């Protein structure tokens, strides 16, 4: 389904709070997980990761130059010692402590709203069994840590057990090296990107009196002349083109300079993971490709975002595994069963996060991923990130999902070659003009489902703003079940 605005009935619809059938913990379990005894932290430094030696990636990978001429690089794949647990929601304090003691697991972090834990398995495995380097993803998935995960998966006290995989922004080589717009000295100019007009946002700008606030969780941001940012957490954010480009697509000011965002009178409410890793396990301060964070970082960030800002109805999350571009791996391959199991396990954990968001009438809009450039058959989006897989689980369980997965299309309204398939809707995602992070006045073009996702997020935010009588479910239906490209009409 290509995205454009369409007529929405003005008939009043009751906004009942939706309760997902995905089980969440009892109040007693949630209170226990909030206690200091199980809330120990790792500290401020990066955690130990297992890296994979990579020698081949697709042409459009941001690492294609790094592996040219037979060279190799190390890519972080997952934590070498950490496991994520989703508890049976009925477990008592005593039962949780018995389970952890039995398996010799040390709690590091808790997610009380979903009944989740990050645990350290070092004591159970012993220091000699922690794999920190592997020659392939398949080898890394055969580590003792993953064997332990299989063992724990048979313990009925745990609904889901998963490694703490590395998550990165969905970027192409064109996104890593954005086409920068030359400055116009002494000339104030402003343009609307083709995606903005293609989706017909310009037809309803006069009705966006604002302020409209929309959330973005990404790897980093930088102050810009053309975007109003508001941080969920105080402090300095890492500088990153990816977060700025997504934000500008949504909310670049209509102020006579740069670019017009899809939403007028708009503020971007931003947050990112707290610990950023690179392929060398160091904290990175700039750029795009090197940024990575563990899955648990984004679970905690999304839950904290929802807790602190329940007024934000739509959150954009353009992150995933990047199997092809980071590792040259097709998760559908016969020898990738452990990879698929990992996606399923992590997806079940994120399904609980979506259940929490659904209770608060919040939608999370996610990119389908960019794995498909060199694939004969495009990859299904649910293999591209735990967030997408979790959304599919919620849809199967509840009949609808508050997690919207977005594919990308080009100016000719064809699926972008890089775009994964199986999303809920498709939005403009090729050569999109927006704000960058290299300076407060930088603009340029990027491509990716990361660029398509904020367009669809903007569409959902607009529907919720201009039609407040609609329930979240009905607003999502309006965005995903609109007319074909030949039947498009403005929203009003």
Q: Do 349 and 162 contact (CB within 8 A), yes or no?
A: yes
pLDDT digits (tens, 9 = 90+) for 27-50: 999 999 998 655 455 554 446 789
Burial zone of 15 (CB within 10 Å; 0-12 exposed, 13-18 middle, 19+ buried): middle
Residue from 464, 428, 432 nearest 445 by CA:
432
User: Alpha carbon of 436 to those of 45, 94, 191, 198: distances in Å?
Assistant: 28, 51, 15, 22
For residue 225, say if its preceding peptide bond is cis, omega within 30 degrees of 0.
no
The whole-number pLDDT of residue 73 equals 85
E runs forming strands in 425-490: 425-428, 432-435, 443-446
The whole-number pLDDT of residue 302 equals 96
- Where in the chain are the domains? 27-166, 173-487
Non-local CB neighbours of 346 within 8 Å, separated by 6+ positions: 84, 160, 162, 165, 295, 386, 389, 390
pLDDT digits (tens, 9 = 90+) for 223-268: 999 999 999 988 778 888 899 999 999 999 999 999 999 999 999 9
306 three-state secondary structure: helix
CB-side neighbour CA atoms (13 Å) of 188: 6
Domain covering 173-487, topology: Rossmann fold (3.40.50)
365 three-state secondary structure: strand
The whole-number pLDDT of residue 183 equals 55
**Measured in whole angstroms, how far is the alpha carbon of residue 435 from the centre of its chain?**
20
The whole-number pLDDT of residue 278 equals 44
Pairing, β 293-294 against β 319-320: unpaired
Distance CA 433, CA 94 (A): 55
Distance CA 115, CA 111 (A): 6
Alpha helices in 154-289 (DSSP H): 173-176, 194-198, 241-251
The whole-number pLDDT of residue 288 equals 37
Spell out, as residue ranges, where the chain has pLDDT lower than 50.
6-14, 39, 44-46, 187, 276-289, 484-492
Residue from 292, 237, 300, 239 nearest 269 by CA:
237
E runs forming strands in 146-187: 158-169, 179-180
Q: Do 250 and 454 contact (CB within 8 A), yes or no?
A: yes
DSSP one-letter string for 57-107: --TTSTTTTTTGGG--EEEEEEEEEEEEEEE-TT--HHHHHHHHHHTT-EE
């Amino acid at each position: 389904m290509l995205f454009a605005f369409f007529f929405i009935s003005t008939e009043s619809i009751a906004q009942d709070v939706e309760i997902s059938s995905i089980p969440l913990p009892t109040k007693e379990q949630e209170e226990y997980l909030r206690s200091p005894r199980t809330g120990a932290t790792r500290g401020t430094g990066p955690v130990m990761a297992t890296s994979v030696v990579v020698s081949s990636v697709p042409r459009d990978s941001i690492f294609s130059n790094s592996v040219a001429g037979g060279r190799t690089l190390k890519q972080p794949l997952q934590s070498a010692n950490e496991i994520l647990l989703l508890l049976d929601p009925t477990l008592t304090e005593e039962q949780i402590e018995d389970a952890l003691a039995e398996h010799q697991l040390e709690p590091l972090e808790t997610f009380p709203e979903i009944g989740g834990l990050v645990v350290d398995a070092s004591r159970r495995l012993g220091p000699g069994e922690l794999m920190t380097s592997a020659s392939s993803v398949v080898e890394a998935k055969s580590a003792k840590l993953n064997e332990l995960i299989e063992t724990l998966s048979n313990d009925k006290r745990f609904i889901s057990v998963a490694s703490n995989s590395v998550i990165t922004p969905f970027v192409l080589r064109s996104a890593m090296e954005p086409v920068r717009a030359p400055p116009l000295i002494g000339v104030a100019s402003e343009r609307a990107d083709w995606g903005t007009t293609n989706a017909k946002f310009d037809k309803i700008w006069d009705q966006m009196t604002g302020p409209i606030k929309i959330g973005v969780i990404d790897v980093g941001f930088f102050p810009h002349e053309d975007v109003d940012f508001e941080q969920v957490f105080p402090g300095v954010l890492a500088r990153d083109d990816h977060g700025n480009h997504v934000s500008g697509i949504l909310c670049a000011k209509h102020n006579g300079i740069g670019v017009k965002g899809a939403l007028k009178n708009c503020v971007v409410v931003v947050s990112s993971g707290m610990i950023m890793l690179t392929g060398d396990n160091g904290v990175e301060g700039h750029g795009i490709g090197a940024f990575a964070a563990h899955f648990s970082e984004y679970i905690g960030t999304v839950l904290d975002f929802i807790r602190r800002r329940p007024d934000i109805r739509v959150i954009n999350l353009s992150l995933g595994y990047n199997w092809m571009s980071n590792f040259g791996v097709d998760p559908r391959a016969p020898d990738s069963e452990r990879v698929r199991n990992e996606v399923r396990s992590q997806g079940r954990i994120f399904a609980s996060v979506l259940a929490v968001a659904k209770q608060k009438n919040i939608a999370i809009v996610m990119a389908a991923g960019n794995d498909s450039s060199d694939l004969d058959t495009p990859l299904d989006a649910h293999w591209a990130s735990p967030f997408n897989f979790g959304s599919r689980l919620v849809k199967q369980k509840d009949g609808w999902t508050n997690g919207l997965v977005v594919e990308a299309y080009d100016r000719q309204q064809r699926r972008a070659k890089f775009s994964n398939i199986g999303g809920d809707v498709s939005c403009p995602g090729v050569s999109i003009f927006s704000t960058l992070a290299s300076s407060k006045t930088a603009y340029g073009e990027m491509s990716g489902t990361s660029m398509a996702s904020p367009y669809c997020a903007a569409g959902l935010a607009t529907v919720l703003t201009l039609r407040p009588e609609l329930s979240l479910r009905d607003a999502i239906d309006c965005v995903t079940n609109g007319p074909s490209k030949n039947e498009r009409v403005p929203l009003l």
